[in-house]
Amino acid sequence: MLETTTSPVEPEATATASTIPSETPPGTPPPPNQQDLKKLLVGFLLDRKILIDEASLFILDDLTQDSPLSFSFSLLSQLYESEAKQTHPTGMTGSSFLRLLKTHLEQKQSTTTQSAAQQLQQPTPSQQPTLQQPPQQTPPLQTPSPPFPTPHTKPLGTVELLFHYTKASKKREVKSFVSYFNKRYQSIKQILQNRQELENVTSISRLQTQPPHPHTFSRNFSGNFSGKQWNKDRPWKQDRSEANADAADRPVQERVAVIGMIKEKRETANKNIILVVEDPTGFINVLVTKTRSDLFALIKQCVLDEVIGVVGTLGDHIIFANNILLPDVPLNKELKKAPDEVYALFLSDIHVGSKQFLPEEFERFLLWLNGGLGSPQHREIAKKVQYLFITGDVVDGVGVYPLQQQELIIKDIYQQYEELARYLKRVPPHIQIILSPGNHDAVRLEEPQPPLHKEYAQSLYGWPNLHLVSNPAVVNIHKSKNFPGFDVLMYHGYSFDHYIATVDHIRENGGYDRADLVMKFLLQRRHLSPSHSAAIYIPDDEEDPLVLSKVPDIFACGHLHKAAIAQYRNVTLLCSSCWQGLTPFQEKMGHKPEPARVPIVNLQTRRCTMLNFEKHKDDEKGGVGEDGIQKKEPGGVR
């Protein structure tokens, strides 16, 4: 327990963290001990109503034990006044202020030591070399080691942007949507044609040489369908094609293969499913019967506007499906492993500026990352972290939803990003930070979202180790001469809500608790938002930027405020949690966030674990170690 009582301290009295032997004049009071120094600092913080969080205790020990650092009351006041001008008063914590003090003292000590070394190396006039006297060499000065290992001054590792959307905004027209969907179709068609079953596909128009059946679509059909309701003029009970679909004596018909986009999906009176599949030449009905249980389960998960391959037999203007093929991840996808032991961290949904932002938990994360928290094993891992991915919603934003102002502690969007910058500056400079936006950030909501705009996030520009990318983005990391590196797909996950609500398999098997099911669903379709209504998007008439033309090694997302780790066909699926407590909206919707969880990946072994920086948790599975960090293994490979 921290003591709340303070002892009077003279304004200019200097406190030293350790006693250095020296000749002290008689009558000089001895330097204060560790307890007095702690009282000085704690009293200073309490007088200014600064929260003394748990991380403060670790920094207090570093400042007051086994260190030659010294500070005065006036220095504390100067630092406080300087920081108060930049930091929102309620956002300042004891650990943030003490860390600032420690950094200032270490820099001052380093400058003093270097200056002393230079003076020792410069010869005095009496020591100038002469012909009779050889030059005297001064031994190098040994600089005392700081409490933490000195971080690298330059970023380690490599970062290469493979996909980064930066096209300028422009006016879009109806034809832009037509071109957009045509580009999507062509891109995914190329992927599907790598499947052996779809090497010889037929255009749909070539299957329509016969006059259409009176119960089939015509190209100028204008009926309106919704859900499982079919047009009243189409009595499916009397549909001859469906009636004969299950007949054992159905004659052998022509085998066909087509690639098309799902235009309609309906359930018939007999509980079979009819798809209307379209390609640039026309559209045709596809019947999937409930007797094919595996195929029927797959087709129930299919959504509108996704591109699939269909193999079956041709009937009367209908295809009886024998197989449905998704673009999916190839079975022979390589599991890459780095040649050296390096770690990558994944964060999301920090929500700086919200009243529910968790500064103490985030301080604990930063303290661990700087080597100040955790067991020896945890600290050793922290030294080997070279990459930090942040997938959106880094601030809470302004005007994102009605009455949001009532839930903000920082109501200015510029100040929110400045506060975020002050946190991220504490990340060791050798770590590469890759940051993409989310739906709460100050960018357009339509996907793909551009990088954070310089107008709002000026304080994040110009960093040697910070890469601002679009959402989505594909980044290659840790590439070397003999190693191709890892392709990391970053996507905030705004479309996830739609598929959790509309896909039965996801909703019935965990919903918001199973981000990995949504990620697997999207990988199988090789698209981040295949349905037109899933998310707001930019209809780019040159490409569909949300198509996954190349399979990533790591798929990282956020948005759901729940953490998940899984593996799908050698693709690592990571969903970061959040740094925000339960909001009124989440409480109303029944959501229960799991904050302060950090997925971490060993790039040499591809082993993933979850670090938990949440306070006062007694997790039965992971347990809380003496270092205060919970370490959990993934729930299983799915």
- The verdict on 359 and 506 lying in the same domain is yes
- The verdict on 361 and 397 lying in the same domain is yes
- Read off the pLDDT band of 209 (50, 70, 90): low
Last residue of a domain, one of 94, 113, 132: 113
Torsion sign, CA atoms 615, 616, 618, 624:
positive
Indicate if the pLDDT at residue 229 is higher than 60.
no
Q: In this structure, how many other beta carbons lie within 10 angstroms of the beta carbon of residue 105?
A: 20
Which domain CATH number covers 614? 3.60.21.50
Q: What is the pLDDT at residue 617?
A: 46
Contact 289, 238 (CB under 8 A): no
Q: Judge whether 336 lies within some domain.
A: no
- Read off the pLDDT band of 583 (50, 70, 90): confident
- The verdict on 421 and 297 lying in the same domain is no
Q: Judge whether 8 lies within some domain.
A: no
- The verdict on 410 and 541 lying in the same domain is yes
Q: What is the pLDDT at residue 101?
A: 73
Q: Judge whether 9 lies within some domain.
A: no
Average pLDDT (500-511) is 92
- The verdict on 416 and 563 lying in the same domain is yes
- The verdict on 67 and 211 lying in the same domain is no
Distance CA 288, CA 285 (A): 10
Distance CA 73, CA 7 (A): 13
Q: What is the pLDDT at residue 591?
A: 80
Q: What is the pLDDT at residue 103?
A: 65
Average pLDDT (414-436) is 95
Q: Judge whether 148 lies within some domain.
A: no
Q: How much of the chain exceeds pLDDT 90, in percent?
A: 55
Indicate if the pLDDT at residue 378 is higher than 70.
yes
- The verdict on 276 and 381 lying in the same domain is no
- pLDDT tens-digit map of 244-270: 444 334 445 688 999 999 999 999 999
Q: Judge whether 35 lies within some domain.
A: yes
Q: What is the pLDDT at residue 630?
A: 55
- The total of structural domains in the chain comes to 3
Average pLDDT (440-464) is 93
Select the more confidently predicted residue: 614 or 86.
614
- Read off the pLDDT band of 590 (50, 70, 90): confident
Last residue of a domain, one of 325, 358, 386: 325
- The verdict on 59 and 85 lying in the same domain is yes
Q: What is the pLDDT at residue 62?
A: 64
- pLDDT tens-digit map of 314-339: 988 899 999 999 999 999 999 999 99
- Read off the pLDDT band of 112 (50, 70, 90): low
Last residue of a domain, one of 86, 113, 140: 113
- The verdict on 574 and 533 lying in the same domain is yes
Range of the domain at 103: 14-19+30-113
- The verdict on 466 and 437 lying in the same domain is yes
Q: Which tokens sit at 544? A: 């569909």
Task: Say whether the peptide bond before residue 212 is cis (omega within 30 degrees of 0).
Answer: no
Sheet strands (E) in 129-254: 159-164
Q: Judge whether 626 lies within some domain.
A: yes
Contact 466, 426 (CB under 8 A): no
Pairing of strands 273-279, 282-288: antiparallel
Indicate if the pLDDT at residue 432 is higher than 50.
yes
Q: How far is CA 108 from CA 16, 105, 113, 371, 409, in A?
A: 14, 5, 9, 21, 34
Q: Judge whether 376 lies within some domain.
A: yes
- The verdict on 354 and 419 lying in the same domain is yes
Write out the H or E segment, with its range, that includes residue 285: strand 282-288
- Read off the pLDDT band of 37 (50, 70, 90): confident
Which domain CATH number covers 272? 2.40.50.140
Q: Judge whether 141 lies within some domain.
A: no
Contact 551, 333 (CB under 8 A): yes
Q: How much of the chain exceeds pLDDT 70, in percent?
A: 69
Burial of 348 (0-12, 13-18, 19+ CB in 10 A): buried
- The verdict on 510 and 614 lying in the same domain is yes
From the list 280, 265, 323, 256, the residue with the least C-alpha distance to 184 is 280
